[in-house]
């Protein structure tokens, strides 16, 4: 249940909305596309060699591309919570994916802290704010920030298509159900027809295509009203499954020396690209392109571990991948188009983060917030950068906190300020310092060469953890090497 503070905020939004609508005949539509596990180097416009992404590349040519865009976390759930709230995952106490938050493990040197598996319903989400403004709000695809009592319908969304408690489908092919993970999974609302039976006509249907079908249907249905569509593709997360003809195409294209070597993953990226093309074509057809803000991003870095004995992707020149706070785990492709505002085919090097989307979108639709509400955000409005990619904004620090274990990391916190980045590993307080302008691959630890900079950033990081009341791991008394 939403708390009184929620109604106060929404009431204020309503007051400001009335004045906003006298300025604009209609607020712009908003389409936020979040791809699951898409790496920074997975797209043609970001330098991919094997993957072909002509539609996304064409979209980028009409928009602004960010080279220093960061996910709020190196794994899924925390980033998604940050996108919805504009708040740091550490502040929300949502620092690991939902299933792991429920099933904490105690077999390592540190015991991870107890964290929340559900985004509290009293959080004022971006959907809540836009719904109060008169938007039709729809969530499609991966949710992963709560159980049934915390599904999209409780967080400001009028429409929910395909959200589940799980972070991945059991298969990308219809009827999207099975048991390849530790439990039986399905994608609700997509696997059966209106009679409650499997639709044999959908045999072979691909989940990425289906979610796009559903998004297009919503665009067509509500083309006369302002809409906010939060399209959260399950792709390119595991299971790594592509359409047969595309897999065969990329198997033939593979060549030694390419950074990407997984034809099945390439097929998944290809299908994603086709569907971005379909979405852009539909906006054109409905004459909504010039009235729709489009945000394209990823929830974390590319997955560099193996699936079925083959490495999934490669984030080079960035170090590591999903789960790690090295650049490969948190730097993500991000492209934003705001018609008549963003300059086509431009690039910004300004460091941005997931938490910035909420305040940015609110300002785009002329919603005003007083100082106390602005203070609740951990992000900033990117409007100055969207208007001028070379705009000089005040330098700020970006923070991450992951007090857990993963295939690619031990518990760690990190800070980036300017060109400098520091990581503190929490098992032994080991510190690493990198100059990203000179060393984007994080190969040369500069801590000994720049002890004062390391001390400065470590102080800021420690201070920030205290400010947001970040949950910390504790020593495991039963652990022995």
Domain count within the chain: 1
Q: What angle do CA 150, 69, 270 make, to 5 degrees?
A: 80
With residue 247 as reference, give the H or E element that holds it.
helix 244-253
pLDDT (0 to 100) of residue 462: 99
pLDDT given for residue 450 in this prediction: 98
Q: Give residue-wise pLDDT tens across range 159-214.
A: 999 998 889 999 999 988 877 776 777 787 787 666 666 777 788 899 999 999 99
Those residues whose C-beta lies under 8 Å from the C-beta of residue 122, and which sit 6 or more positions away, are 1, 2, 3, 5, 6
Question: Who's near 67: CB < 8 A, 6+ residues apart?
Answer: 347, 348, 349
Per residue in 92-107, pLDDT tens?
A: 999 999 888 877 667 8
The pLDDT value recorded for residue 21 is 43
Tell me the mean pLDDT in the region 341-364.
97
**Domain containing 153: what range?**
4-394
Strand-pairing partners, residue 69, are 352
pTM (2 d.p.): 0.94
- Work out the widest C-alpha separation in the chain, in whole angstroms: 69
Per the domain annotation, does 151 fall within a domain? yes
Closest among 63, 19, 57, 5 to 340, alpha carbons compared: 63
Ramachandran category for residue 208: left, alpha or beta (phi over 0 → left; psi -120 to 50 → alpha)? alpha
Q: What is the pLDDT of residue 337?
A: 99
Pairing of strands 110-111, 420-425: unpaired
Q: Which of 35-44, 188-197, 212-221, 398-407 has the least mean pLDDT?
A: 188-197
Q: Are 219 and 227 in contact (CB under 8 A)?
A: yes
Lowest mean pLDDT among 29-33, 55-59, 120-124, 448-452: 120-124
What is the average pLDDT across 31-60? 99
- Asked whether residue 330 is domain-assigned, the answer is yes
Q: How many helices (H) and strands (E) does the chain have?
A: 14, 20
Question: Does any domain span residue 101?
Answer: yes
d(Cα 470, Cα 420) in Å, to the nearest integer?
Answer: 22
Q: Are 263 and 247 in contact (CB under 8 A)?
A: yes
Closest CA to 64 of 269, 274, 293: 293
CATH code of the domain containing 198: 3.40.720.10
pLDDT tens-digit readout, 50-103: 999 999 999 999 999 999 999 999 999 999 999 999 999 999 999 999 888 877
Task: Say if 228 falls within a structural domain.
Answer: yes
Residue 8 lies in a domain: yes
User: Per the domain annotation, does 416 fall within a domain?
Assistant: no
Q: Each residue of 276-307: pLDDT tens digit? A: 999 999 999 999 999 999 999 999 999 999 99
Burial class of residue 448 (count of CB atoms within 10 Å of its CB; 0-12, 13-18, 19+):
exposed
- Among candidate residues 323, 471, 325, the one with its CA nearest the CA of residue 408: 323
In a domain, 404, yes or no: no
The answer to whether residue 249 sits within a structural domain is yes
In whole angstroms, what is the distance from residue 411 CA to residue 291 CA? 44
Which H or E element spans position 77?
Answer: helix 76-85
Is residue 22 over pLDDT 60? no
Residue in 280, 289, 317 with CA at minimum distance from that of residue 302: 317
Question: Would you say residue 4 has pLDDT above 50?
Answer: no
Q: Which of 74, 83, 102, 75 is nearest to 33 (CA)?
A: 83
What is the spatial distance between Cα 282 and Cα 297, in angstroms, rounded to a whole number?
Answer: 20
Looking at the predicted structure, is the pLDDT value of residue 320 above 80?
A: yes
DSSP label at residue 131: H
> Backbone phi, then psi, for 304, in 5-degree steps?
-100, 0
Task: For tokens 């106490």, name the residue.
Answer: 93
């Amino acid at each position: 249940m939403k708390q009184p503070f929620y109604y106060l905020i929404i009431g204020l939004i309503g007051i400001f909305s009335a004045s906003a609508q006298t300025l604009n005949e209609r607020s712009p539509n908003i389409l936020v596309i979040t791809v699951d596990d898409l790496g920074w180097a997975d797209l043609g416009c970001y330098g991919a060699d094997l993957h072909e992404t002509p539609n996304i590349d064409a979209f980028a040519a009409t928009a602004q591309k960010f080279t220093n865009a960061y996910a709020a976390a190196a794994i899924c759930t925390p980033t998604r919570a940050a996108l919805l709230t504009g708040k740091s995952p550490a502040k929300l106490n949502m620092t690991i994916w939902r299933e792991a938050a429920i099933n904490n493990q105690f077999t390592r040197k540190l015991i991870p802290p107890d964290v929340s598996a559900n985004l509290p319903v009293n959080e004022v989400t971006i959907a809540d704010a836009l719904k109060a403004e008169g938007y039709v709000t729809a969530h499609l695809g991966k949710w992963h920030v709560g159980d049934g009592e915390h599904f999209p319908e409780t967080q400001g969304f009028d429409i929910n298509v395909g959200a589940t408690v799980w972070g991945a489908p059991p298969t990308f092919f219809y009827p999207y159900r099975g048991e390849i993970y530790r439990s039986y999974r399905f994608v609700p609302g997509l696997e059966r027809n209106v009679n409650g039976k499997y639709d044999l006509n959908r045999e072979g249907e691909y989940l990425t295509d289906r979610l796009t079908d559903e998004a297009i249907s919503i665009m067509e249905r509500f083309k006369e009203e302002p809409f906010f569509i939060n399209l959260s593709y399950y792709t390119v997360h595991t299971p790594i499954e592509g359409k047969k003809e595309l897999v065969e195409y990329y198997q033939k294209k593979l060549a030694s020396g390419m950074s990407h070597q997984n034809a099945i993953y390439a097929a998944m990226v290809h299908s994603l690209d086709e569907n971005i093309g379909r979405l852009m074509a539909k906006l054109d057809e409905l004459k909504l392109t010039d009235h729709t803000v489009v945000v394209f991003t990823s929830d974390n870095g590319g997955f560099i571990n193996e699936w079925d004995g083959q490495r999934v992707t490669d984030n080079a020149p960035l170090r590591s991948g999903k789960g790690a706070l090295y650049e490969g785990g948190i730097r993500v492709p991000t492209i934003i188009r705001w018609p008549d505002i963003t300059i086509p085919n431009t690039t910004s090097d300004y460091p941005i983060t997931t938490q910035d989307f909420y305040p940015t979108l609110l300002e785009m639709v002329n919603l005003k917030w007083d100082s106390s509400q602005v203070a609740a955000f951990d992000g900033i409005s990117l409007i100055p950068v969207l208007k001028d990619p070379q705009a000089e904004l005040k330098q700020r620090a970006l923070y991450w906190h992951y007090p857990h274990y993963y295939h690619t990391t031990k518990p760690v916190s990190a800070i980036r300020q300017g060109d400098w980045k520091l990581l503190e590993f929490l098992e032994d307080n080991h510190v690493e310092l990198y100059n990203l302008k000179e060393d984007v691959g994080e190969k040369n630890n500069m801590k000994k060469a720049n002890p004062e900079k390391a001390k400065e950033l470590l102080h800021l990081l420690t201070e920030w953890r205290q400010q947001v009341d970040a949950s910390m791991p504790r020593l495991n008394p039963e652990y022995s090497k």
